[in-house]
Amino acid sequence: MTDAHSPDLPLPVRSEELLHRLATRRSAPAQQLAAPAPEGEDLKTLLELALRSPDHGKLAPWRLVVLGAQTRAGIVEKLSAMTHRLPDPVKGKAVLSKLANPPLTILVVSSPVHGHKVPVWEQELSAGAVCMNIEHAANALGYSASWITDWYSFDAEALALFDIKDGEKVAGFIHIGTLPTAPLERPRPQVSERVEILP
Ligand SMILES: Cc1cc2nc3c(=O)[nH]c(=O)nc-3n(C[C@H](O)[C@H](O)[C@H](O)COP(=O)(O)O)c2cc1C
């Protein structure tokens, strides 16, 4: 990785289509995601775009795992057996359908370099940027996506099933596929409530 300026990179140009896409972007209900999902060249493009995310210090403090349906089915069976010790075992089991059903799931793992001068918080934020870029890239390829964590992202025994190592965290499971119908809009925060504009 060098800092060489590539003459190939264009400056941004106004894109009404991209503005419209951003203004209408909406997460998918994960349970409703069905085939088709990106594969082949589309999946390659999606993964390349995912890794093109801002990252202080060029540490690439994340790793991605493409979880195929077979792998997820095996893990979901084991997760299901753990739900009896959750505060709400019924809900804990029910949410597993979000992990089992989508045709494609990409696990984004925050894998910061501890002890580095770039704070871990900044490295973790970069993993969030990867998640968001996956959603945008999936949308650009014509698919819907859903960013989920759920209980198994915070349970030590469950995390071992995904081979999450000490010092790592789940940034998100990004489920991708196609929806039968467009999702409903949800209430959005108003700029006036959340933004301070200073002179
Ligand atoms: C970091 C993160 C974790 C999330 N975890 C869950 C989750 O565990 N369960 C869930 O149903 N939705 C989860 N979501 C999705 C949100 O509940 C919600 O559907 C989404 O943020 C809607 O955003 P949008 O309408 O802007 O697309 C998560 C979202 C983010 C960003």
Q: Which CATH architecture has domain 29-179?
A: 3-Layer(aba) Sandwich (3.40)
Measured CA to CA, the distance from residue 114 to residue 176 in angstroms comes to 31
Beta strands in the chain (DSSP E): 62-67, 104-110, 144-148, 169-177
Beta strands in 102-190 (DSSP E): 104-110, 144-148, 169-177
Q: What is the pLDDT of residues 70-91, one digit of tens each?
A: 999 999 999 999 999 999 999 9
Nearest CA to ligand 1 atom 18: 27
pLDDT tops 60 at residue 1: no
Task: Indicate the domain borders of the chain.
Answer: 29-179
Measured in degrees and rounded to the nearest 5, phi and psi for residue 93 equal -75, -40
148 Cα: distance to centroid of ligand 1 (angstroms): 6
Any atom of ligand 1 within 6 Å of the Cβ of 136: no
DSSP 87: S
Point out the ligand 1 atom lying closest to the alpha carbon of residue 153: 8
Q: What is the pLDDT of residues 130-185, one digit of tens each?
A: 999 999 999 999 999 999 999 999 999 999 999 999 999 999 999 999 999 999 99
Cα atoms in the Cβ-side hemisphere of radius 13 Å centred on 53: 28
Nearest CA to ligand 1 atom 26: 26
